[in-house]
Amino acid sequence: MATEILMPALSPTMEEGTLAKWLVKEGDTVKSGDILAEIETDKATMEFEAVDEGIIGKILIAEGTEGVKVNAAIAVLLEDGESADDIVASAPAQAAPVEAAPAPVAAASAPAAPIVDTSPDWPEGTPMKQQTVREAIREGMSEEMRRDDTVFLMGEEVAEYEGAYKISQGMLAEFGAKRVIDTPITEHGFAGIATGASFAGLRPVVEFMTFNFAMQAMDHIINSAAKTLYMSGGQMGAPMVFRGPNGAAARVGAQHSQDYAAWFMQVPGLKVAMPYAASDAKGLMKTAIRDDNPVIFLENEIMYGKTFDVPDVEDYTVPFGKARIWREGTDVTIVSFGIGMTYSLEAADKLAEEGISVEVLDLRTIRPMDTAAIIKSVMKTNRCVTVEEGWPQGSVGSYISSVLMQEAFDYLDAPVINCTGKDVPMPYAANLERHALITTDEVIAAVKQVTYK
């Protein structure tokens, strides 16, 4: 049966091209792989090969013709025994109609009372213990390694050195070198190896000595870990945790002092936890390890030694996507997370002395984000200040502002203010560093501004 040879699309964007030159003539016998013609696309001159074998029966488009549409018939190929007289001209194939994109769902202008999980993290009367954030993270990891032997810890200095920040102290002794693994200084490589191991069913916990070094591993975190579940149509994903200290420590300069919360928050496929209190560090760590998705777990060096009450129970977990109300108030809502909570709570204490009642929300996880809790609180207070150490442009706070503007505009009595770190690389000098970071005074000033006091 005679087949039409169609004008090919030879680039992702080509819609038409020039048939520059025929390299065969009518009557020629061709086999697959033979070059039939040269075609000029919008980018280059390409050779066009035959796919089927046969005889060139008729050339329909002369060489030199410009503007030949993709899929227009340019020649007819005959099988043995057919004659060019058999050819019946046919209309060029029609391009498939493009399906109209669905209209975006309009955001509700004012929310009905949002549904917020306000259940307490632990029942009243639960026995408590005092624990540092460092101990809580270690206990969370160790408990999960005891209950699931596919969980392992890898990173620089995690085993024999017992952790650059002593998070993994004692873990090599308990779990052995098979499950607590020292890596060379090679973040890109070991992040990739851990991601591959997670595809095969293990649950790696990858420690970055600090998240600044995770920039070397960014491709595997985003392209390999976060996107594979989607790209595989749900067949395989990366159940793993990337963890380590994030944000400014003290006097370590620009390359070691960056808060990555806003960066990771942007990526569908990742979850992002950033605990403040030790109980949350433990409970969120256990949830992170059990989660079937890649979780970014952002710790803070300054917080490691801080002590909090932690429930002294067998298996304490904290769900993702549930904010914690640290302090109830009526005049303004402060939304924060991680070390930003330190400034927020301090500011709330001082403002209370001046008669301003502040509600303080700790997001605990940035993605998923408990926006319902934020909206519910703002519906009560009508004012909001966000607090974080990261940079202002594209900050977590700017996202919260946009959510409030779209979903709670009618409830706002003042513009939302984002208290962030300054828009500068972190300086080394002690006085400059203090000014580059967020301060409690700035949070207080922001609250007074939105409450017009």
CB of 204 to another protein, least distance (A): 8
**Nearest distance, CB of residue 322 and another protein, angstroms:** 16
Burial call 207-242: b when 16+ CB within 10 Å, e when fewer = bbbbbbbbbebeebbbebbbbbbeeeeeeebbbbbb
Q: Residue 324 and residue 377: Cα distance in Å, rounded?
A: 12
Distance CA 261, CA 391 (A): 10
Cβ proximity to another protein, 109 vs 232, nearer residue: 232
* Residue 201 Cβ vs another protein, minimum distance, rounded to whole Å: 6
**Residue closer to another protein, measured from CB, 25 or 178:** 178
Tell the smallest beta-carbon distance from residue 97 to another protein (Å). 12
The residue from 139, 144, 187, 207 that is catalytic is 187
Which positions lie near another protein, rule CB under 8 A? 6-12, 14, 32-33, 35, 41, 43-49, 51, 70-71, 93, 95, 99, 102, 152, 178, 183-184, 186, 188-202, 219-220, 223-224, 228-237, 239, 268-269, 271, 292-293
Which SS3 state, helix, strand or coil, does residue 185 take? coil
Reduced to 3 states (helix: H, G, I; strand: E, B; else coil), residue 405 is helix
Alpha carbon distance 97, 81 (integer Å): 37
Burial of residue 294, with CB atoms counted within 10 A of its CB: 0-12 exposed, 13-18 middle, 19 or more buried: buried
Residue from 139, 256, 388, 389 carrying the catalytic annotation: 256
Give the nearer residue to another protein in terms of CB position, either 49 or 410.
49
**Does 435 qualify as catalytic in the annotation?**
no
Q: Is 256 a catalytic residue?
A: yes
Shortest distance (Å) from residue 436 CB to another protein: 32
The three-state secondary structure class of 6 is strand
Residue whose CB is less far from another protein, 194 or 323: 194
- Alpha-carbon distance of 302 to 275, in angstroms, equals 13
Q: Which is nearer to another protein, 81 or 234 (CB)?
A: 234
396-407 and 371-381 helices, crossing angle to 10°: 60
What sign does the dihedral 441-394-133-385 (CA atoms) show?
positive
Q: With contact defined as beta carbons under 8 Å apart, do 162 and 169 qualify?
A: yes
CB of 332 within 8 A of CB of 358? yes
- Nearer to another protein among residue 290 and residue 306 (C-beta): 290
Closest separation in Å from C-beta 176 to another protein:
12
- Active-site residue list: 187, 256
